[in-house]
Amino acid sequence: MSSLLIFPLLLVALAVQAVDFTAPYHRHVNTELPGSTWHQPDSHPVYTLFRRTGGNDGDTYASVGSPEWSKSFPTDPASMQNMPQAWLDALHKAVSAGKIPDVPVTTTPPGSNPTYPDGYDPMNPDVCSSTYQCRIPGDIWDGPDGYLSLSFDDGPLPPSPTLYKFLKEKGQHATHFYIGTNILQYPDCFEMAWENQDDIAVHTWTHPYMTTKTNEEVLAELGWTMQLIHNSTGGRVPKYWRPPYGDSDMRVRAIAKEVLGLTTVIWNQDTNDWSLSDPVPITSLDKIATQMHTWLTGSKKPGLIILEHELSNQSVQAFMDAWDLVVSNGWKTTSVAQMGGASAYQNSWNASAPVTQAKVGDLSVHPPSTQAAASTTSKPSPSSSTNAKSSRPNITSNKSSALHYGATSVTFGVVASAVAVAVYILS
């Protein structure tokens, strides 16, 4: 009788040895949209403003930095107004539809914030100036609880590579709110950030107080910057913009959103690091270090979006000096453009994910669905500063949960069958 047990028991031993007791790979997929307006309907002007005229996005774009790449972009204020007619038509349509509030243009007296004409209160909901700390619903001021959401303004510039190298060494990604003319002037710096797979967003073409600009001037400041980023990133359409000096209101914000699909990003803490390289700075590295200590050792509700710049060696140093505090105080980190697992672009999850073409007639422009892109990419997730890894898709490291469970199920089936044989023989 015992000899009859050898074969089934051997099957049991082999099957048990084959079982993979490692916890199966499991990826939570959020099938809900990250916000009520994160994508645009097919009637949205962004389709015609930034659609490809042929081929697939990512193909046949001029090389960044080449004469062909830069030749179609404005070099002075006059040429900025020579916009594609489609942009102007989209603006005029939005105005006619009542989507652009009739808020007057501001003036900027020397040494003063932008000023509205008499009778217009910047804190009134109909005006709601972010310069005066009025928050418009839908604009972003705070980060997710427990997160330091990274972003830097005014690049690309000569100090930028030091910042990019540091971020790469620490395994971090950030959102760079770029000035259009700086991209033209420093294409090598731009390419370094892009090769690092950081997120690229809009900081206007010439860095003006945006509420001082007419509707058409606002459109040009945003549109040209978007188009240059689009042409330099394989056809990605920027999703976020940050107003220079934080200066926006209901009118400016509406042009950005209703005509170009841009979400406005402000901040909830300000280092004033932009002044470090000024002849008479209003802050210092020591003062910024004190501020950073206060913020990074304080409450994590809400999360931090700190206004920082890649404008000077000093401003970059201020960020690097604070990094150990970020780690030691347990802050999780993410790029501003990917907060909450959102997509960094209107038509792509990030720098390495597939790009959805924005064609007239599409129901919406958004990154490829998780199901459609599953074979090539995964939805990004925020990284932790204590275990910093790229949130970009990793084709080789992601296992298929269906395959993993399937193999395990088969193995347990063998075990069950062998045990059943053994029990039968014993009986």
Would you please indicate which residues are annotated as catalytic (active-site) residues? 153, 309
Q: Are strands 175-178 and 199-202 parallel, antiparallel or unpaired?
A: parallel
CA distance 204 to 201: 9
Name residues whose C-beta falls within 8 Å of residue 306's C-beta, 6 or more positions apart in sequence: 148, 267, 268, 269, 270, 271, 295
Give the SS3 label for residue 54. coil
Q: Are strands 332-335 and 306-307 parallel, antiparallel or unpaired?
A: unpaired
Helix (H) or strand (E) holding 321: helix 313-328
- The full length of the chain comes to 427
Give the SS3 label for residue 40. strand
CA distance 289 to 322: 7
Please name every residue paired with 384 in a beta bridge, in sequence order, or none if there are none. Answer: 332, 387
CA angle 217, 75, 47 (to 5 degrees): 55
Q: Where are the beta strands (DSSP E) in 87-215?
A: 147-153, 175-178, 199-202
